[in-house]
Amino acid sequence: MVRAAAERHGSYGYGNPVMLVHAVTAPNAVMRVLPVLPEAMWPASLAAAWAATAAVTAAYAPAEPRLLPQPRPDLTIAELADRAVAIGDPHAIKYADAVADVLAAAPDPALLSAAVRSVDELAD
């Protein structure tokens, strides 16, 4: 869910970058707390994360996607984090952190390039 939202942000986040960051960070927050929640709470927690992501996406995504940037093999997760910290915006930092979680699980140069562009746009 977090990966899908992060990938979607790359194409649709330009419509409302701050609001659409929440489609990524909300489910990431749930994923981080799942290990300490009773298993009985997992289905409701994941359903709430899905609902929040879907609602934010439906409300704020533009009708048309934009092209993704070309993957840049020189980019690193550390550069993504550094850029977010340099911007100083809490949304940029939370977004970069969530994407770093996704990329740590499965590296993806295309997603990393899109995430760097998204973080840079949060500075505007």
Measured between alpha carbons, how far is 42 from 39 in angstroms, rounded to an integer? 5
Q: Report the pLDDT value the prediction gives residue 123, as an integer from 0 to 100.
A: 87
For every one of its 124 residues, what pLDDT tens digit does the chain have, with 9 covering 90 and above?
A: 999 999 999 999 999 999 999 999 999 999 999 999 999 999 999 999 999 999 999 999 999 999 999 999 899 999 999 999 999 999 999 999 999 999 999 999 999 999 999 999 998 7
Q: Give the pLDDT confidence score for residue 6 in this predicted structure.
A: 95
